[in-house]
Amino acid sequence: MKKYILSAFAVLAMPAAAYANCPGITVADMKGVKSGAYPQQYEVAEFEAAAGCKMSFSSNPDAASLNARIQGNPDLPPLADRIPQEPLVVVPYSSIGKYGGTLDALSNATEAGTSDFLSIRHVNLVRYSDDLQTIVPNVAKSWEWNSDYTKLTFHLRAGHKWSDGQPFTSADVKFWYDNLMMDTNVFEKPKDYALVGGERMTVDTPDATTVVFNLPAPKPGLLAHFATSYAQGFQPKHFLGQFHPGISADADAKAKALGFENGYAVIRAYYGSSDWTDTPSPMLNSPDKVAKMPGAAVPTLESHFVVSETTEGRHFVANPYFHMVDTSGQQLPYINEMDEIYANDHEVRLLKLINAEVDYKSQSLGLPDAPILLQNMEKGDYTVQIKPRISMPTVSFNVTSEDAGKRAIFGDLRFRKAMSIAMDRNAINETAYFGQGEARQYVGFSPVPSFVDSKWLTFATEHDPAGAKALLDEIGLVDQNGDGIRDLPGGAPFILNLQFAQQGLPGQVVELIAQSWNAVGIQSAVKEVTPDEYRSAQSSNQLDVGLWEKSQPLAIVLGNNELWVPPFENYFAHRTGMLWAEWVDSNGASGVEPPEYVKQLMNDINAFQSTPVGTPESNAIGARMVENMTSNLLFLGTVLSAGPIYHRNALKNVPEFMTESYEYYRTYPYRGAQWYLDE
């Protein structure tokens, strides 16, 4: 009898329990709540079912005052009208956070070394989970592929809003694709990730929350692109559209009223004509006009919004319309403000880190910096994680140099091989990386997939100065005037200018490379420049030697062909063969025709992206790509190592990183929106 009464009570109590407050579970303590469809996050209904509770939401008490600092934003509506009807429930790593504080970040310059910090507030349609294996929802609530990977459908969140309170819908995705990416007034040429085998896609919007990408050929890697790239597949149509001549008839008139030449000029001021969101905002590029403009920067879906910008730094406040909540129902982000300052000098950056003037930093640090950072860890009350890297410092030669003499030399495989075996990779490893790294040839993929024959990893990596000298003699690079330095076959002096930026690779590594080349008679002069200068010299084909890190994981190669098509990566990264690229771009009308193996690479990457990964066919193509890339030594690998990740101990909910790398978009898998400051 007692048993029955108790169970009757239990039955009566259950609905009440179901409507109790939700437990603030964390990754560290799930309190018995089962994981949802994806690790460390839930949809609201999914979480309520798993935890047997009803979520109620609460907002940052400072939201109104932060909102007031965003130019053009109206007064804040209540929280329920700000977050989507189905906000994304994020499980914090170790504890439910608290609101407030300012995160201090350190970058190199306005457009240099900022991706690390940008990745903290970054959002995209989807995201890699911190296992770097699982793609999980983010801005998109869900997605599905059709069976042959030619149709990718995203479902957005109902009621999702931009940082100015306007609705975010499928039209914003279509606007980004049709009116920005495919508009030659904005992008002269669409980026590869927006194309499939060079062909454009189409974007359908059956309703406000559904977006369909129709692909002309299979490209399963498109999803991974949206998970790893800084480029976001959406822009606010309501905002940028008013200045877009294709959307709004009075776009140019509106632009003129603001003092711009035409509508596209306003779009350029906001969007920077770039999918890179850290281009200067109107606050920096049009300070005399910004007061009258509808906003000081373009509305965002990111966790924070830029409210001031100078040549010294940027300042951000929390986005009051952000679409994530924690498991206790508090709207994210926890951190109120973010402050970014620029320091282009490496030693000064280190000093600031040691003094704990920065909350988080990883980009532009290398293993050579680890000892001094580790030594001061206790005093500065910060933590340094040393994690494996994905890319490594690589060296290339300008195979399409403007200087005909140099072009002939750089284009000679024997020269590139000589330079590769002249390098003492073990000495680099010992001196710069304390013997912790691994000498490697560049094969294009990192980590190395199983279809790569291991012989390529050590191809031409042996240290053989005598062999290098013999090769150089063979191609006629000999010392003609008896000064111990090799001259060009015509007798002109041959000097390699090694311009590098610390953001690309450690100066120590460059100096060791230069030493080993000088030792075989190739005069090499080292000069440190800013990343901006390095990039513009590279773009205008003025570098002798490319020096930057390189390599990408398989998942990214599947979505973006840039590593395999001249100039073999984008503006921000390591490129060579600029005139080959011009030839490819102009369909042979100008530039320099690339050799056969490069054409083969271009064909193979298209086939590779359209072939299901892991099949024998795909593996065969992959193996051929690696062979072509590696045996031709367009890029010389050096040492694959680990790198430091720095964060102050007051910054909480920062987990152990899997890698210290750019490739999964730095901190994006580790969910910066749930980081908080405990001071």
Partner 1 sequence: MAQFIQFVLTRAAMAVMTLMIVSLIVFSLMELVPGSCAERYLAFKNTQGSQITIADIEAEERRLGLDRPFPERWVKWVYKVFVHGEFGESCILRLDINQLLADKFLISLGICLAALILSYAIALPIGIISASSKSAVANNTMRFVSYLGLALPNFLLALIIMLFATVWFGESLTGLYSKEYRDAAWNWAKFMDFLGHAWLPVFVLGWSATAFALQTVRALMLDEIGKLYVTAAAARGVLGAKLLWRYPAKHSLGPVVNSLGFDLNRIFNELPVIAMILTLTESGALLIESLARSNDQQLAGAIIFLLTASIVVMNFATDILLALIDPRVRRGLMG
Whichever of 307 and 472 has its CB closer to partner 1, that residue is 307
Q: In residues, how long is the chain?
A: 679
- With binding defined as CB under 8 A, does residue 308 bind partner 1? yes
Q: Which of residues 98-117 bind partner 1 (CB under 8 A)?
A: 104, 110
Nearest-approach distance from CB 269 to partner 1, in angstroms: 12
CA dihedral 185, 279, 537, 634 (to 10 degrees): -90
- DSSP H or E stretch at residue 127: strand 126-128
Task: List b or e across 256-282, with b for residues whose CB sees 16 or more CB atoms inside 10 angstroms.
Answer: eebebebbbbbbbbbbbbbbbbbbbbb
Helices (H) and strands (E) in the chain, counts: 23, 27
For position 57 contacting partner 1 by CB under 8 A, the verdict is no
Site string for partner 1, 268-307 (x = CB under 8 A): -----xx-x--xx---xx-xx-------------------
CB 530 within 8 A of CB 344: yes
Binding to partner 1 (CB under 8 A) within 522-551 occurs at: 528-530, 532-533, 535-542
Among candidate residues 440, 429, 433, 428, the one with its CA nearest the CA of residue 512: 428
Site for partner 1 in 371-390 (CB under 8 A): 379-380
Say what angle helices 413-422 and 507-519 make with each other, to 10 degrees.
110
Q: What letters, b where the CB count within 10 A reaches 16 and e where it falls short, cover 130-155?
A: bebeebbbbbbbebebeeebbbbbbb
Per CB under 8 A, 244 contacts partner 1: no
Q: How many residues bind partner 1 (CB under 8 A)?
A: 61
Whichever of 71 and 331 has its CB closer to partner 1, that residue is 71
Q: Which residues contact 363 (CB under 8 A, 6 or more apart)?
A: 107, 113, 115, 116, 503, 662, 666
Does 311 engage in binding with partner 1 (CB under 8 A)? yes
Question: Taking Cα atoms as reference points, which of 359, 432, 442, 437 lies closest to residue 625?
Answer: 442
Cβ closer to partner 1: 434 or 572? 572
- CB of 107 vs partner 1, minimal distance in Å: 13
Verify binding: residue 414, partner 1, rule CB under 8 A.
no
Q: Does 172 bind partner 1 (CB under 8 A)?
A: no
For the bound state, the minimum distance from the C-beta of residue 661 to partner 1, rounded and expressed in Å, comes to 21
**Does 434 contact partner 1 by CB under 8 A?**
no
**Under rule CB under 8 A, residue 354 binds partner 1:** yes
Q: Counting contacts by CB under 8 A, is residue 444 touching partner 1?
A: no
* Residue given tokens 């003094």 in the structure block: 355
481: how many CB neighbours lie within 10 A of its CB?
9
User: Shortest approach of partner 1 to residue 180 CB, angstroms?
Assistant: 11
User: Binding to partner 1 (CB under 8 A): which residues in 551-610?
Assistant: 570-572, 578, 581-582, 585-586, 590-591
Could you write out the DSSP letters of every residue in 464-518? -HHHHHHHHHHTT-B-SSSSSS-B-TTS-B-EEEEEE-TTTS-HHHHHHHHHHHH
Terminal alpha carbon distance of the chain: 56
Nearer to partner 1, 49 or 109 (CB): 109
355 makes contact with partner 1 (CB under 8 A): yes
CB of 540 to partner 1, least distance (A): 4
Footprint on this chain of partner 1 (rule: CB under 8 A): 104, 110, 186-192, 273-274, 276, 279-280, 284-285, 287-288, 308, 310-313, 315, 339, 341, 343-345, 348, 351-352, 354-357, 379-380, 528-530, 532-533, 535-542, 570-572, 578, 581-582, 585-586, 590-591
